[in-house]
């Protein structure tokens, strides 16, 4: 019987506010490129898949500042290429620098289905936890967004000393929840970090594909939004 539900943070529960696709489209327009927000959104998600696959091999915490900057630059270049722009590193750097100038203090917003879903899960007496590779500040963010009252615990990679998909962060969360892996579901949007990471410790993964770009994922439950989740918890 499922007793606990763990959630990933970015693109599972929350997105940037303003949305990344809006900011990127605005910057590209300034630079002479006309890219629609839907095209930009898809480009971002595809680039994220490549980025997170790379980070599953070597996490940011194990990279030098110079190496981290190269990762960010190549991610930005991948975003532009996926948007149909044949990008150089120089264009990627210019785009990333301008985006940071326009959004000095990035903020988060919850997806519309989050509060109704976690409220329902609490009413059904599930233990609810958050697992994120954000190193710090996530508790304050959850409090600001009104999510904290629904969370039984929040585990950041900084607290756990490990990033997903490292088994250590999942085991840390299992200890906080005081449940067995077989009693737990983990919901996330990245295959390697969330699906493989959870499965490697015996947790049942549920893959959330909000932007319908991962139809190749067929070896676990795949949902488009959180309203579909309760059906997998019975």
Residue 136's pLDDT is what?
Answer: 78
Residue 32 Ramachandran class (φ > 0 left, ψ -120 to 50 alpha, else beta): left
Nearest one of 79, 99, 94 to 23, comparing CA atoms: 99
113 and 198 housed in the same domain: yes
Please tell me the pTM assigned to this model. Answer: 0.93
- Structural domain count, the chain: 2
Give the separation between CA 16 and CA 9, rounded to whole angstroms: 11
76 and 113 housed in the same domain: no
Residue 182 Ramachandran class (φ > 0 left, ψ -120 to 50 alpha, else beta): alpha
Q: Which tens digit of pLDDT belongs to each residue from 167-215?
A: 999 999 999 999 999 999 999 999 999 999 999 999 999 999 999 999 9
Residue 125, SS3?
coil
Token code pair at residue 123: 């009413």
pLDDT above 80 (res 135) = no
pLDDT above 80 (res 144) = yes
Residue 7's pLDDT is what?
Answer: 99
48 and 150 housed in the same domain: no
88 and 126 housed in the same domain: no
Query: Tokens 């009104």 identify what position?
Result: 146
Nearest one of 137, 179, 142 to 158, comparing CA atoms: 137
Q: Which tens digit of pLDDT belongs to each residue from 50-83?
A: 999 898 888 888 899 999 999 999 999 999 999 9
Pick the last residue of a domain from 81, 102, 123. Answer: 102
213 and 122 housed in the same domain: yes
Pick the last residue of a domain from 68, 102, 136. Answer: 102
Beta strands in 8-90 (DSSP E): 14-17
Q: What is the CATH number of the domain that holds 93?
A: 1.10.150
10 and 23 housed in the same domain: no
Domain that holds residue 195: 4-14+108-232
Residue 127: partners with Cβ closer than 8 Å, 6 or more residues away: 3, 4, 5, 152, 177, 179
Pick the last residue of a domain from 85, 102, 119. Answer: 102
Question: Mean pLDDT of all residues in the chain?
Answer: 96
129 and 170 housed in the same domain: yes
Among 27-36, 84-93, 99-108, 157-166, whose mean pLDDT is lowest?
Answer: 99-108
């Amino acid at each position: 019987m499922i007793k606990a539900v763990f959630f990933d943070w970015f693109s599972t529960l929350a997105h940037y506010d303003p949305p990344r696709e809006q900011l990127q489209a605005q910057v590209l327009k300034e630079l002479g490129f006309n890219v629609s927000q839907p095209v930009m959104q898809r480009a971002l998600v595809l680039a994220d898949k490549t980025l997170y696959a790379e980070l599953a091999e070597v996490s940011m915490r194990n990279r030098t500042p110079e190496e981290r900057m190269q990762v960010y630059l190549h991610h930005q270049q991948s975003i532009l290429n996926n948007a149909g722009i044949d990008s150089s590193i120089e264009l990627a750097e210019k785009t990333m620098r301008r985006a940071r100038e326009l959004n000095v203090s990035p903020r988060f917003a919850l997806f519309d289905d989050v509060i109704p879903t976690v409220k329902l899960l609490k009413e059904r007496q599930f233990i609810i936890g958050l697992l994120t590779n954000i190193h710090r500040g996530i508790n304050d963010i959850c409090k600001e967004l009104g999510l904290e009252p629904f969370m039984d615990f929040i585990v950041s990679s900084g607290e756990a000393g490990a990033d997903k998909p490292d088994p250590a962060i999942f085991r840390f969360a299992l200890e906080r929840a005081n449940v067995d892996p077989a009693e737990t579901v983990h919901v996330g949007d990245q295959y390697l970090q969330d699906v493989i990471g959870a499965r490697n410790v015996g947790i049942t993964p549920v893959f959330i594909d909000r932007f319908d770009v991962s139809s190749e994922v067929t070896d676990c439950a795949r949902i488009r939004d959180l309203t579909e989740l309760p059906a997998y918890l019975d």
